[in-house]
Amino acid sequence: MNKVHIPTKEEFIKGIEEFEKHENRDAMYKVATFLISHFWSKASDMADGLGVLLLTWNQAFYRYGNFDFDKLEECIKNNLEKLKKFKSRDITTLSKSDEPDMKSIFTEFMKSLQIASGNMEGRKSPVAVAKALHLLAPNFFPLWDVRIAKVYGCYYNNYPAEKYIRFMKLMKEFVEKVRGYVVLSNYQNKTLLKLIDEFNYSKYTKGWI
């Protein structure tokens, strides 16, 4: 497993500041977070909430075609009890016993979020899955993209569910090391995993720091 680069407090906060400076799309995160929380247990509305974020944040992928909202709704219904348990947990509680459920959920969301029509029908996005899972359990499931995944040795061209679980273990370590860096109440509607993603995005995806 790759060694995690733990930034200094100053570098970590700088990454968050650069993200906030450059990323206007983050308003969609706040909207989607509210919708998921407000409509929790109503699978159809939850699917709509996920769509608000995915069709904005993952526009580069879904410009080739949308996912099937009905399939996403069914996936949420089928996994709601498991998701509810993860929603109440912090990633620092991650254990080996969680892996079968996490792998199953990741795989099912991969299928439900694949492009549903057009020339790219059937194309899947592990990035979209991570974004959806993070919205559903924001203290437990981390965010990634292709550059972030590669930096952490978790590139998902093969066995994406297993690579995501490996990434989760690394982000668990990251959370444990930087928990004291920030006061979360200063970052409205954001979890520590979201702030870590902002740092990773600023440093590894965009090179802003």
Task: Encode pLDDT of 13-24 as tens digits.
Answer: 999 999 999 987
pLDDT interval class at 77 (50, 70, 90): very high
What pLDDT does 140 receive?
98
Answer yes or no: is 2 within a domain.
Answer: no
In the predicted model, what is the mean pLDDT of residues 188-202? Answer: 95
Answer yes or no: is 134 within a domain.
Answer: yes
In the predicted model, what is the mean pLDDT of residues 3-12? Answer: 93
Answer yes or no: is 192 within a domain.
Answer: yes
- Residue 1 pLDDT exceeds 60: no
Mean pLDDT of the chain: 94
What pLDDT does 151 receive?
96
Answer yes or no: is 4 within a domain.
Answer: no
Which residues constitute the domain of residue 82?
9-205
User: What domain count does the chain have?
Assistant: 1
**Comparison of pLDDT for 171 and 53, the residue scoring more:** 171
Answer yes or no: is 118 within a domain.
Answer: yes
**Polymer length in residues for the chain:** 209
Stated pTM of the model: 0.94
Answer yes or no: is 185 within a domain.
Answer: yes
Answer yes or no: is 62 within a domain.
Answer: yes
pLDDT interval class at 104 (50, 70, 90): very high
What pLDDT does 59 receive?
85
